[in-house]
């Protein structure tokens, strides 16, 4: 999808008309082929967006009625039947290798994190790029070059990420954005806000308010155990913070005023039978993108750029936010998107906190970790040892190898494992053993760090206060 995801039919129609004029002007001026091709690509994508929102093909000179909307209200992130399904609540694909992220970049209208950008992050930060960047685990972005441009001119930024606390225990997949966000916080020495959307889970799940609030505190302990600096990090729950901070709520209302019901139906697939809490929630997830939502941290400043590391399924919220931001006088947030952490059973879906066997949980014992990997981790190996030795395994679909790409930091060791598995020199059982021996101490260490996190520590992180930074 393009960046006009939050637009209504009329705005999309006007953008299409203007883009058509631009393509014709470029062709008339005999512009560079690459520039013409890019303009044509955007025009085609706008036509897809227009049909998605209105249910009709674009026709020049025939503007839509103000109430036009696609009759089935499918989420804008959901494509044709043969495409991957990716939205904030559902991720699925028929491909054993997982979601096709190159196609997703085109559909969402984001930019690929290429080697040039990875090199630039290294140059600006003065640090070797995190292995999530080196391996394409964070693969897509919006406006990261703009953030780096400003940082090079001594104009800093802040980080915003979040967690929907739907259960007491988090799994290893939930750690991915936090591991990377901590690295960004450390290398750029910048403040961080972490939103716990306990209100969202109350609206979407069969949970009581009290359960959602309790899960938020328990999840905060796991997040703190990742090693965040209390002097630079503010963690807040929506149910607690919104009532305590008028500035945050004012920004929520500003966003709400500039997004129509038709637009959220088009973006998120809401229907007339959804509760009004769901319809208004996207504005709450948008508000932390603006520095004025945190007066204790930034005062009344509106000019501090926000960078959001998150999984790509959260992007619809921020396409909407980026559309609204200039209209309410704020900077658009920049984004860094990660791939999905696959379920043990295969990369066709992401892990689920509600299925104990789809995930390695942060509460699992060494024995449980070993059993889950041995019993449930989808294998890319052959049926017999003889066949495997002869033909080799397929690391592209093997979940144990996928997990190693996330957690094994040594690039050379990872490459050797890949080659040995593909050649048949390394058996599936041996690969699973390598993963088990990597995860067991990692999770045990996390559990030890979590034990040090007291209720008082959580309170420290969740108290609105000035943070220690230079902007």
Q: Is pLDDT above 70 for 72?
A: no
- Tokens found for residue 392: 């080799």
For residues 470 and 294, the model is more confident at 294
Instruction: State the pLDDT at residue 74.
Output: 39
Q: Is residue 65 helix, strand or coil?
A: coil
Q: Which residues contact 236 (CB under 8 A, 6 or more apart)?
A: 193, 194, 195, 196, 462, 464
Instruction: Categorize the per-residue pLDDT at 61 as very low, low, confident or very high, splitting at 50, 70 and 90.
Output: confident
pLDDT in tens, 10-27: 777 778 887 888 888 888
Q: What's the mean pLDDT in 367-380? A: 95
Q: Report d(CA 173, CA 292) in Å as an integer.
A: 31
Q: What is the dihedral of CA 122, 126, 131, 133, to 10 degrees?
A: -30
Cβ contact 99:340 at 8 Å: yes
**Structural domains of the chain in order of their starting residue, each with its CATH number:** 1-71 (1.10.287.10), 85-343 (3.40.50.620), 352-451 (1.10.240.10)
Q: How many CB atoms lie within 10 A of CB 419?
A: 13
Pick from 221, 291, 309, 219: which is nearest to 469 by CA?
A: 291
Q: Is residue 271 helix, strand or coil?
A: coil
Q: Is pLDDT above 80 for 71?
A: no
Mean residue pLDDT of the chain comes to 89
Up-side HSE of residue 223: CA atoms within 13 Å toward CB?
31
DSSP string, 366-434: HHHHHHHHHHHS---S-SSHHHHHHH---TTT-HHHHHHHHH---HHHHHHHHHHHHHTSS-HHHHHHH
Q: Which residues contact 388 (CB under 8 A, 6 or more apart)?
A: 381, 382, 424, 427, 428
Percent of the chain whose predicted confidence (pLDDT) is above 90: 71
Q: How many CB atoms lie within 10 A of CB 202?
A: 19
Instruction: Categorize the per-residue pLDDT at 350 as very low, low, confident or very high, splitting at 50, 70 and 90.
Output: low
Q: What is the dihedral of CA 112, 116, 118, 122, to 10 degrees?
A: -160
Pick from 423, 416, 471, 407: which is nearest to 131 by CA?
A: 407
Q: Is pLDDT above 80 for 2?
A: no
Instruction: State the pLDDT at residue 170.
Output: 92
Q: Report d(CA 324, CA 15) in Å as an integer.
A: 16
Instruction: State the pLDDT at residue 75.
Output: 41
Instruction: Categorize the per-residue pLDDT at 35 as very low, low, confident or very high, splitting at 50, 70 and 90.
Output: confident
Q: Report d(CA 8, CA 326) in Å as an integer.
A: 16
Q: Report d(CA 281, CA 269) in Å as an integer.
A: 13
pLDDT in tens, 355-371: 677 889 999 999 999 99
pLDDT in tens, 396-450: 999 999 999 999 999 999 999 999 999 999 999 999 999 999 999 999 999 999 9
Q: Is pLDDT above 70 for 85?
A: yes
């Amino acid at each position: 999808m393009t960046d006009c995801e939050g637009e209504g039919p009329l705005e999309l129609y006007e953008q299409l008309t203007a883009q058509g004029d631009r393509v014709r002007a470029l062709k008339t001026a005999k512009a560079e082929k690459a520039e013409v091709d890019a303009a044509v690509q955007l025009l085609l994508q706008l036509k897809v967006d227009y049909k998605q929102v209105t249910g009709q093909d674009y026709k020049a000179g025939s503007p839509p009625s103000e109430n036009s909307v696609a009759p089935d209200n499918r989420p804008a992130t959901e494509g044709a039947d043969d495409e991957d399904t990716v939205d904030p609540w559902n991720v699925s694909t028929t491909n054993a290798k997982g979601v096709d992220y190159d196609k997703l970049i085109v559909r969402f209208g984001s930019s690929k994190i290429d080697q040039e950008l990875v090199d630039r992050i290294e140059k600006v930060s003065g640090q070797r790029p995190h292995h999530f960047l080196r391996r394409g685990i964070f693969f897509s972005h919006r406006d990261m070059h703009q953030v780096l441009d400003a940082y090079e001119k001594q104009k800093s930024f802040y980080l915003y990420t979040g967690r929907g606390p739907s259960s007491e225990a988090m799994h290893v997949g939930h750690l991915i954005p936090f591991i990377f966000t901590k690295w960004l916080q450390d290398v750029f020495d910048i403040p961080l806000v972490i939103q716990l959307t306990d209100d969202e889970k109350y609206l979407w799940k069969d949970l009581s308010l009290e359960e959602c609030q309790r899960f938020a505190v328990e999840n905060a302990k796991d997040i703190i155990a990742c090693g965040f600096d209390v002097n630079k990090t503010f963690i807040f729950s929506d149910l607690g913070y919104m009532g305590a901070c008028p500035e945050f709520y004012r920004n929520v209302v500003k966003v709400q005023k500039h997004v129509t019901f038709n637009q959220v139906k088009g973006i998120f697939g809401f229907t007339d039978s959804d509760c009004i809490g769901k319809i208004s929630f996207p504005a709450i997830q948008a508000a932390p993108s603006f520095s004025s939502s945190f007066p204790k941290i930034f005062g009344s400043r509106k000019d501090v750029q926000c960078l959001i590391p998150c999984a790509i399924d959260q992007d619809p919220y921020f396409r909407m936010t980026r559309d609204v931001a200039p209209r309410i006088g704020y900077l658009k947030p920049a984004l860094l998107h990660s791939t999905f952490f696959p379920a043990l059973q295969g990369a066709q879906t992401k892990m689920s906190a509600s299925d104990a066997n789809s995930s390695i949980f942060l509460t699992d014992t060494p024995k449980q970790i070993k059993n889950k990997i041995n019993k449930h981790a989808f294998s890319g190996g052959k049926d017999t040892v003889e066949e495997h030795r002869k033909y080799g395994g397929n690391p592209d679909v093997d979940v144990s190898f996928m997990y190693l790409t996330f957690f094994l930091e040594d690039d050379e060791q990872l490459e050797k494992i890949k080659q040995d598995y593909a050649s048949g020199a390394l058996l599936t059982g041996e690969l699973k053993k390598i993963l088990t021996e990597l995860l067991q101490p990692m999770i045990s260490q996390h559990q030890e760090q979590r034990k040090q996190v007291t209720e008082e520590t959580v309170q420290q992180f969740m108290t609105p206060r000035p943070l220690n930074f230079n902007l």
